[in-house]
Amino acid sequence: MNSFVRYAFIAASLIALGMAACFFLQLPWATSAWPWPTGRLSNIFIASILAAVGVPVLWIGLSGEWAAVTGGAINLSLMYAGMAVFSFQVYAQDATRRSILLFAIFCTALAVACIALIVWARRIPFRDPRPLPRGAQVSFILFATVLVLTGGALVLKRPNIFPWPLSPEQSVLYGWIFLGAACYFVYALINPKWKNAQGQLLGFLAYDVVLIVPFVNHFAKVDPGLRMSLIIYTGVIIFSGLLAIYYLLLNRATRVWMLRHKVDVTSLR
């Protein structure tokens, strides 16, 4: 059973990462799978989300830390459920948009699958007892707050939230992505284990790597009215990337190659 689950997670992660590469490269067959109007930066943003999903799923599959599934599944179940409900609403207003109906059904299926994963994983104990470092806890409170405020504004179709213009439909969909991610951070604060954070930070780092160069290049042509959004968004990317690098690669108590070594948990305090 564990081998099947491990291979399933690895396969799912490779699909997500492959699609991330295709969206980043703007391959038409891939971008057409997203049934909403997009441009270059929107496709790159979708690539960053796919990468942020794929990397933690790959880590879970390789490490076998099944307890870490719960937080990510809560994130994705809310994201897909919100996108599904909105897509059904759009289709109900215009029944000629069959691709939106298919997208809504697909999101519904993924939401149900994620809920099943929550039920399966929620009673599995963590093999790694290390607590969530206090510095990460403070940062996660900040991230959750920003994501709720930003995601809520996007769902309400507030203008000038993103560093490039969004259609009202895109705004709502991206809002649900952010609200789902906020739940991931809140769950890690409620259940403050390091392994609840490691997947998030790996995903955050992948998200940042995909976005940082396109965002920096966008400064040369951003609309003046959206420049502040770009500055704030880029600042968040830089901060989250540095946070992930510190805890994943530099901090002695949490860096990834310490997994098989005895750790002094007091150093996390």
Residue 116 has pLDDT above 80, yes or no: yes
Average pLDDT value for residue range 85-98: 95
Q: What is the DSSP letter of 258?
A: G
Give residue 6's domain range.
Answer: 2-264
- For residue 51, being part of any structural domain is answered with yes
CA distance 184 to 141: 11
pTM beyond 0.85, yes or no? yes
pLDDT score recorded for residue 71: 94
Answer whether residue 113 is part of any domain.
yes
Q: Would you state the pLDDT for residue 150?
A: 97
Return d(Cα 74, Cα 186) in angstroms, integer. 10
Q: What is the mean pLDDT of residues 40-51?
A: 97
**What's the confidence (pLDDT) of residue 141?**
97
Structural domain total, the chain: 1
Please determine, for residue 218, whether its predicted confidence score (pLDDT) is greater than 70: yes
For residue range 155-204, list pLDDT tens digits in order.
999 999 999 999 999 999 999 999 999 999 999 999 999 999 999 999 99
Can you tell me the distance from the alpha carbon of 122 to that of 79, in angstroms, rounded to the nearest whole number? Answer: 19
| Interval 16-32 mean pLDDT | 95
Within a domain: 258: yes
pLDDT on residue 255: 81
Domain assignment present for residue 186? The answer is: yes
131 in a structural domain: yes
260 φ/ψ angles, rounded to the nearest 5 degrees: -100, 15
Smallest CA-to-CA distance from 197 within 151, 257, 265, 128 is with: 128
Q: How confident is the model at residue 267 (pLDDT cuts 50, 70, 90)?
A: very low
> Could you report the per-residue pLDDT of 135-155, keeping only the tens digit for each?
999 999 999 999 999 999 999
In the prediction, which pLDDT does 144 show?
Answer: 96
Residue 269 located in a structural domain = no
The DSSP secondary-structure symbol of 27 reads -
Residue 261 has pLDDT above 60, yes or no: no
Tell me if 259 is assigned to some domain.
Answer: yes
Asked whether residue 199 is domain-assigned, the answer is: yes
